Amino acid sequence: MEETWQVSFESIISQIIDRGYGIIDGFLSEEEITQLNKSLTDHYQAQEFKQAGISKNQDIVKSIRGDEIMWLERNNANTIETEFLNRLEEFMSYVNYTCFLGLRSYEIHYASYPVGTFYKRHLDKFRNDSGRKLSFICYINQQWEPENGGELVLYLPDKDEVVLPLGGRLVVFESDKIEHEVLPANRERRSLTGWLRNID
Ligand code: OGA
Ligand code: MN
């Protein structure tokens, strides 16, 4: 029997091949969303988050980017974080098996956008580091409503794709091709965000 995650991997990969990005819902169960939210809150309260920076120097420029982040490492991950990293690695193997992107490593952080913060239009690629091949964002927001805002906008050649940050939704796109933006929200906006790389 095929696992449900395998079916969703196939779907997201064929979307990426067709149009450079993919979106699937239900990548995480409600229980997993609850657990990851709790972990984020614990890390936040333990002051493990820091203001995110931009470009290679990681300068803090709140008029461009206002989120706070915490990098996730396998060696200090808790049970639910380890499960998430396992699923991510399965996804990476699946991409390698089907797409020949030669993915070798990944980097991932929790992100929390306080009310009213945003990330202006940008590309997820540093000028002197071309290792990032695929960007992925998995939202862990419970009961997110359209009036909460906080949309991710993907700027495509023929249209703007506007994506609500619904809990359990996974968005993957080619890091060096698709410019995107995070719009402000009227409540805190949470995700796990990272990059699959073809160099270590
Ligand atoms: C990023 C980013 C998008 C989102 O962290 O580089 O573009 O929807 N995030 O959170
Ligand atoms: Mn980005």
User: What per-residue confidence (pLDDT) applies to 156?
Assistant: 97
User: What per-residue confidence (pLDDT) applies to 5?
Assistant: 65
Question: Residue type for 199, please?
Answer: I
| C-beta 137 within 6 A of ligand 1 | yes
The residues with which 138 forms a beta bridge, in sequence order, are 170, 192
Question: Residue type for 60, please?
Answer: I
Ligand 1 closest atom vs CA 124? 6
Nearest CA to ligand 1 atom 6: 124
| C-beta 23 within 6 A of ligand 1 | no
Q: Which residues of 116-136 are buried (b: 16+ CB within 10 A; e: fewer)?
A: ebbbeeeebbeeeeebbbbbb
User: What per-residue confidence (pLDDT) applies to 3?
Assistant: 63
Residue closest to 35 by CA, chosen among 4, 92, 73, 77:
77
* Residue extents of the structural domains in the chain: 3-197
CA of 2 to the centre of ligand 2 (A): 32
Both tokens of residue 103? 């993915």
Residues 6+ apart with CB under 8 A from 73: none
Summarised one tens digit per residue, pLDDT across range 100-148 is 889 999 999 999 999 999 999 999 987 667 799 999 999 999 999 999 9
Query: Which parts of the chain have pLDDT scores under 50?
Result: 1
**Residue 19 near residue 12, CB atoms below 8 Å:** no
The pTM for the full model equals 0.95
The residues with which 69 forms a beta bridge, in sequence order, are 50, 111
Q: In what order do the strands lie in the sheet with 179-182?
A: 119-122, 179-182, 152-155, 160-163
**Residue 84 near residue 32, CB atoms below 8 Å:** yes
> What are the distances in angstroms from CA 125 to CA 24, 76, 92, 132, 151?
23, 27, 19, 6, 21
User: What per-residue confidence (pLDDT) applies to 160?
Assistant: 98
| C-beta 152 within 6 A of ligand 1 | yes
CA of 96 to the centre of ligand 1 (A): 23
Residue closest to 88 by CA, chosen among 164, 152, 17, 36:
36
- Which alpha helices (H) appear in 69-113, and where do they start and end? 79-99
User: Which ligand minimizes its atom distance to the CA of 68?
Assistant: 1
> What is the fold of 3-197?
Jelly Rolls (2.60.120)
Q: Could you report how far apart the first and last alpha carbons of the chain are, in Å?
A: 34
CA of 180 to the centre of ligand 2 (A): 6
